[in-house]
Copies of this chain bind each other. A is one copy, B any other.
Amino acid sequence: MVYQKVLIAGQWRDSKYPVGGFNAVNPATKQALAEVYPVSGEDDVNELIAAGKRAAVELRNVPVERISRFLELFAEKIEAHTAALVDIANLETGLPKEPRLRNGELPRTTDQLRKAAKAARELSWRNATIETAVNIRSMMGPLDGPISVFGPNNFPFAFNSVAGGDFAAAIAAGNPVIAKANTGHPGTTLVFARLAFEAVKEAQLPPGTVQMIYRTPPELGLKLVSHPQIGASAFTGSKSAGLRLKAAADKAGKPIYLEMSSVNPVFILPGAVEERSDELAAEMFGSCALGAGQFCTNPGLIIVQKSEWTEQFIDTLAGAFDRNRPGILLGSKGLDSVGNAVEVLQSAGARLIAGGRKVEDEGYRFANTLLRVDAQTFIANPHELQTEAFGTVSLIVVADDIRQMTEVASVVEGNLTGCIYSNTQGKDDEDYAVLEPELRTKVGRLLNDKVPTGVAVVSSMNHGGPYPATGHPGFTAVGLPASMLRFAALYCYDNVRPSRLPVELQDKNPTGTMWRLIDGEWTQKDV
């Protein structure tokens, strides 16, 4: 069997003693693709960690300009290979070439890499804090080992283990990355890894700065996140896999950042339904069906109040679910998982009002599925009724009044996002004031009159939220430089001689523009 090569310790080489091989499958045809990728065994993993650790030590002496240059070179190379990336990602994921992959996700990916480069170069992300009276100075610095990144299946570019947001943030914070490809798109990841490694060489970074394997047996994934020489890990994917990795990392005292599951509740207050029912139904359907419903921020839960307008809204929405052809799901496992989730929701008391079954088709498709349940039932069984179905599947919860809507909010689990739609003329303002405090602490990002899908890469973004959406409510996976803080440690210097301080903490502002907190004032000046 000829396997594709892995990237370990600066070498493209055969996997040492692989424990198996696998193919990617085209979800549009259900056909396996030709290339075979190795499942790495213990030898590969040991070498990854050792080389990653060496690279972590070496990177601490590399001028930050070279790290930024690497990120920019990589972005340029990605753009130069757009066609190849779009072709293979389309084959491996079934996501449309246009506009999704070429015009949406690819530019987003290069934008993230460039924003990470800019943040690294500007240095303000370090939160340099200086107290002159006592000569104690601190800033954020890299961790003491490489970051292992486990990317998800649903964004082959923007969250890719070796090109996406976690990768960009980890590198920009000065850490090497050990990328475990998502097994849904190994070929896409291979193309990225080739380009990244070319950029590593051109920017003269340590060769172990970027390493990549395709897959390991589960126990070696656990080893990767818990190894004493690992700095931290980032995982985006299913809750079950995420929790297994979390348990191993936690036990070893290693930070792990997870993005696991979210049903993203959307509360539509009565005045909004009365005002713009059809518009809302169209907006909701568009958000629910984006990427065949396989978005972390997909609205899986829509909470409304009983009324004739509400019934009309539900009918219109169900019509849109029925009428539109479902998108292609990422794989057969995803298809089964959506079916199972819909069954769980029904067993817990939800009633189907659209879809509910696999579609006989050349590709993996599940009918757009809308369910409904009354709020009382939801409140009595909130855990099962928040089962995430990773597809175009949403559950409408119909409440009697604002009190019951708020009670629904009170039993909602931790989520990435929560939306409140309300009347534009102020009719819902009292209800909003009751509902918002309950929802606020359950979600990372609170929206008004806007769908949760679409996560802007800006400094004020929070793509995070309370457990079980993620593992810690204080960090975001999207938005620079905030996402870099996940991969950093607080370095304090007490009475350290001036020449021995990192340039960021010396009296002279190293760039003239870096923001530093000196004696309680944010400034770009020298001490």
**A458-B134 contact given A441-B144, A490-B475, A494-B446, CB 8 Å threshold:** yes
Q: In whole angstroms, how far apart are the Cα atoms of A134 and B454 in the complex?
A: 12
Residue of B with least CB distance to A448: B496
Copies of this protein in the assembly total: 2
Q: Mark A491-506, 1 if CB is under 8 A from B, else 0.
A: 1111111001000000
Q: Mark A467-493, 1 if CB is under 8 A from B, else 0.
A: 110011111100000100100111111
Provide the residues of chain B in CB contact with A445, threshold 8 Å. Answer: 492-494
Does A466 belong to the interface (CB within 8 Å)?
Answer: yes
Q: Mark A444-456, 1 if CB is under 8 A from B, else 0.
A: 1111111000001
Which of A65-73, A150-158, A514-522 faces chain B?
A514-522
Does A137 belong to the interface (CB within 8 Å)?
Answer: yes
Q: In whole angstroms, how far apart are the Cα atoms of A497 and B450 in the complex?
A: 11
Does A460 belong to the interface (CB within 8 Å)?
Answer: yes
Q: In whole angstroms, how far apart are the Cα atoms of A521 and B524 in the complex?
A: 10
Provide the residues of chain B in CB contact with A497, threshold 8 Å. Answer: 448
Size bin of chain A's contact surface: 35 or more
Q: In whole angstroms, how far apart are the Cα atoms of A490 and B476 in the complex?
A: 8
Tell me whether B450 and A495 are in contact (CB under 8 A). Answer: yes
Q: Which of B136, B500, B520 contacts A461 (CB 8 A)?
A: B136
Q: Which of B254, B459, B488, B489 contacts A520 (CB 8 A)?
A: B459
Which of A86-94, A196-204, A245-253 faces chain B?
A245-253
Which of A3-11, A357-365, A432-440 faces chain B?
A432-440
Does A50 belong to the interface (CB within 8 Å)?
Answer: no
Provide the residues of chain B in CB contact with A246, threshold 8 Å. Answer: 250
Q: In whole angstroms, how far apart are the Cα atoms of A467 and B485 in the complex?
A: 17
**A474-B450 contact given A144-B466, A254-B467, A456-B136, CB 8 Å threshold:** no
Q: Which of B140, B432, B460 contacts A500 (CB 8 A)?
A: B432
Q: Which of B458, B490, B493 contacts A131 (CB 8 A)?
A: B458
**A134-B456 contact given A449-B495, A494-B450, CB 8 Å threshold:** yes
Does A138 belong to the interface (CB within 8 Å)?
Answer: yes
Provide the residues of chain B in CB contact with A491, threshold 8 Å. Answer: 440, 444, 446, 462
Does A130 belong to the interface (CB within 8 Å)?
Answer: yes
Provide the residues of chain B in CB contact with A522, threshold 8 Å. Answer: 515, 522-523
Question: What are 17 A-to-B residue pairs whose CB atoms are below 8 Å?
Answer: A60-B440, A131-B460, A134-B458, A138-B460, A138-B462, A141-B441, A142-B441, A246-B250, A247-B250, A250-B250, A253-B414, A417-B494, A445-B494, A446-B491, A449-B495, A459-B520, A473-B490
Chain A interface (Cβ < 8 Å from any Cβ of B): 57, 60-61, 129-131, 133-134, 136-138, 140-144, 246-247, 250-255, 414, 417, 432, 436-437, 440-442, 444-450, 456, 458-462, 464, 466-468, 471-476, 482, 485, 488-497, 500, 515, 517, 520-523
